[in-house]
Amino acid sequence: MLETAPSTDAYLMLSGTLFAVGLIGVVIRRNMITVLMAIELMLNAVNINLVAFSHRLGSLEGQVFTIFVITVAAGEAAVGLAIIIQLYRLKSTINVDEARMLNG
């Protein structure tokens, strides 16, 4: 590891906080687009974790997995946006609270 690089612990704290911000964002935000962004935040927290560990362990596996996570996140965003557009077409809103035809 480079002398100047922060320790893995610092990365873990950063990623843990990012993950928590994302999780809280999903729970408290009502706008679907914001929820989608919060989910991306959670996935990127995972990426930070993986790259930090990969750097510390000197194994490339984590970085390769990160690439896969990034692409899957893109696919997820695409599917999510498509569902949001369809919901907007039907209901003219993307507020998650308005989606309550199913009593859950």
Neighbours of 20 (CB within 10 A): 13
Task: Report d(CA 24, CA 21) in Å as an integer.
Answer: 5
Shortest distance in whole angstroms from residue 83 CB to another protein:
5
Non-local (6+) Cβ contacts of 43 within 8 A are 69, 73, 76
Neighbours of 47 (CB within 10 A): 19
Q: Which residues in 16-75 contact another protein (CB under 8 A)?
A: 16-17, 19-24, 26, 32, 35, 39, 42-43, 45-46, 49-50, 52-53, 56-57, 59, 61-62, 64-65, 67-75
Number of residues in contact with another protein, rule: CB under 8 A? 61
List 2, 3, 92, 102, residue binding another protein (CB under 8 A): 102
Shortest distance in whole angstroms from residue 94 CB to another protein:
9
Q: Which residues bind to another protein, rule: CB under 8 A?
A: 8, 12-13, 15-17, 19-24, 26, 32, 35, 39, 42-43, 45-46, 49-50, 52-53, 56-57, 59, 61-62, 64-65, 67-87, 89-91, 96, 99-102, 104
